[in-house]
Every structure is written in structure tokens, then in C-alpha cells.
Amino acid sequence: VGDEKIGYFTPDIGNSIAYSSNPGSLTINTIDPDTGVFEGVFQFIATDPANEDQTTYTITNGAFLVVVQ
């Protein structure tokens, strides 16, 4: 159990840099214990955690739907 949320973004296939969220938000809108469905939205600013690249990417309007069985 924890409260750490991390998003990863890789802008180019084969790029060795995986940008991570710094900062961001994740909101769970639906939890249905009968069906196991979790649904929500997210957004974050992605930066290079090693600071090798100063480029930032703004990820907006992200959405997810997960079914836990």
C-alpha cells in the first residue's frame, strides 16, 4: 500500500530515455467491486529523471480502464 504515482513516457521507439512524471495527477473515477473495473484519468509533465535531456513533455487527457480479476 502506498501513495506514490509514477507515469512513464517514451516519445521515440528505441529511445533509451524513459521520461517520468514530475509532477502529475491520477484520479480514479470508478471502482466497481462486482466487475473489478477501475476507471480514471491522468495528466503529468514528463522529464528525464537523469537530467541528461532538458526536454519536457506535457501529457494531458490520459484515461485508463483496468479490469482486475
What pLDDT, in 10s, does the model give residues 15-55?
A: 667 888 888 889 999 999 999 999 999 999 999 888 888 98
Count CA atoms closer than 13 A to 57's CA, side-chain side.
17
The whole-number pLDDT of residue 40 equals 96
Model-level pTM? 0.75
Task: Kindly tell me if the per-residue pLDDT of 4 is higher than 70.
Answer: no
Q: What is the pLDDT of residue 19?
A: 87
* C-alpha to C-alpha distance for 56 and 37, rounded to whole angstroms: 32
Q: Does the pLDDT value for residue 6 go beyond 90?
A: no
